[in-house]
Amino acid sequence: MNYKRTIFDQLYENIGKKPILVLYGARQVGKTTLIKSILARFSHTLYLQGDDPKEALLLENKSAKELSELVSGYELVVIDEAQRVKNIGISLKLMADNIEQVRVVATGSSSFELANKLSEPLTGRNRKFYLYPLSVKELADAYGKIQVSKELDSLLTFGMYPAIVNALSREEKAILIKELAGDYLFKDLFLFGDIRNSFAFEKLAKLLALRIGSEISYSELAKEVGVSRDTIYNYVNLLEQAFIIFRLTPLYTNKTKEINKRHKIYFYDVGIRNALIGNTDPIDIRPDKGAIFENFFIAEKIKERAYSMRSSAIHFWRNRQGAEVDLVELINTGKDIFAYECKWKNQTTAPIAFKTSYPHSSFECITTENIITHFVSYRKIGTIS
């Protein structure tokens, strides 16, 4: 099934506002499907695949005149997996500066490679968008809130990649998510990431998967993996720039009472996390279900925040006495504070220390009973797969 992606309208409406639009997202999140649905809105388009060596050559080291001959006259030009095209930043700059009314969308599954190629050449000429695995809201739009609630255990186990959600059986989902974690997501990392020790890199990824929701120490990870602290830091950056993990920093406004150094790491997709540690057992029998649920909620918040284009900052909170809150979102430069604590079943209240420090904040306890409603305020009828 194809899903109406929340970002579709934003992306479509921005075509032409900047000469170049860049759509980032991990492999297999649905970038190509999204782009092709946008191409269908236009009558005269050009679609080029950076993964195809012959098509990539059409864009590599070309003059402004050659590029004009290639793309002029098209209503929209799409370059899929643009990070595979050598000197793509220069080619796009030449298009933007020399071809009147050019409209290009470039997609990339490796921000560390594509961003490096685009940052300087395309300053002021491009606008960035991000596509993530399916969101609760997108699934509810397709199948309805009630059906998504019924599938929550499966989503917590196998994640939200479109192909995984569409798979009909647990066995097929388990096979697909293992393949996706092993074959696709690390593909660009090993190609472009200057990873000299693949064993250490994979060991680090598994350690991070085992420690979701916990504060990490680069020095401790370096000792466990057997590489330098700088190497760990570099590998974490690569995983983040490939849209596999993200970091959460502590909320820090009181120097004497709140922690300010260590941060937490989560996965954009809990299915990838579970595949990395080789565990796709049913969620209700797992000792790590609380950490998985916390990761799932925070990843959904990342999607919601990005797609709503609201300007905010997100953190976790912990004081020196050990009281903590899983997620705190600061909106309107911190004037509005929304705090969330994730619990599998039982409700809880905000820590007294947090309410004392942030008396005007709102607090919500997120459980398996209310998480879908938190992200979806209406219902439709349907059946997943």
pLDDT of residue 104: 96
Contact between residue 350 and residue 339 where contact means Cβ atoms under 8 Å apart = yes
Torsions phi, psi for 310 (to 5 deg): -85, 145
pLDDT at 382 over 60: no
The pLDDT of residue 383 = 44
Least confident interval from 51-55, 108-112, 179-183, 218-222 = 108-112
Render pLDDT for 227-251 as a digit per residue (tens, 0 to 9): 999 999 999 998 998 889 999 999 9
Q: Tell me what pLDDT residue 385 has.
A: 47
- The pLDDT of residue 241: 85
> pLDDT at position 381, please?
36
> DSSP 3-state assignment of 232?
helix
Q: Where, residue-wise, is CATH 3.40.50.300 in the chain? A: 8-130
Amino acid identity of residue 106, one-letter, is A
Q: Would you call 84 helix, strand, or coil by DSSP?
A: helix
**Rounded mean pLDDT of 319-347?**
92
User: 8-130 — its CATH code?
Assistant: 3.40.50.300
Tens digit of each residue's pLDDT (9 = 90 or more) over 256-286: 676 667 899 999 999 999 999 999 999 999 9
Q: What is the mean pLDDT of residues 74-79?
A: 96
**Band of residue 67 on the pLDDT scale cut at 50, 70, 90:** very high
Q: Is the pLDDT of residue 379 over 70?
A: no
- What average pLDDT does this structure show over 28-37? 95
pLDDT of 184: 65
Contact between 323 and 331 under an 8 Å Cβ cutoff? The reply is no
pLDDT tens digits for range 285-323: 999 999 999 999 999 999 999 999 888 999 999 998 989
Structure tokens at 44: 């005269």
pLDDT of residue 121 exceeding 80, the answer is no
CATH 3.40.50.1370 fits 146-375, yes or no: no
Comparing CA positions, the residue from 318, 342, 339, 336 lying closest to residue 328 is: 339
Task: CATH 1.10.10.10 in the chain: give the residue spans.
Answer: 146-375
**What is the distance between the alpha carbons of residues 363 and 360, in angstroms, rounded to a whole number?**
10
What is the share, in percent, of the chain residues with pLDDT greater than 90?
A: 75
Q: What is the rounded CA–CA span in Å between residue 25 and residue 11? A: 14
pTM: 0.92
> In angstroms, what CA-CA distances link 48 with 19, 58, 76?
17, 9, 11
Average pLDDT, the chain: 90
| Residue 210's pLDDT band (cuts 50, 70, 90) | very high
pLDDT at 113 over 60: no
Q: What percent of the chain has pLDDT above 70? A: 91
CA distance 234 to 211: 18
**What is the rounded CA–CA span in Å between residue 93 and residue 19?**
9
> Which range (30-34, 50-54, 243-247, 253-257) has the least confidence?
253-257
Give the E-state strand segments of the chain in sequence order. Answer: 20-24, 45-49, 76-80, 104-108, 126-130, 215-216, 245-250, 263-267, 312-318, 324-331, 336-342, 362-366
Question: Can you spell out the DSSP letters for 90-135?
Answer: HHHHHHHHHSTT--EEEEES-HHHHHHHHTTTTTTTEEEEE--SPP
Q: How confident is the model at residue 188 (pLDDT cuts 50, 70, 90)?
A: low
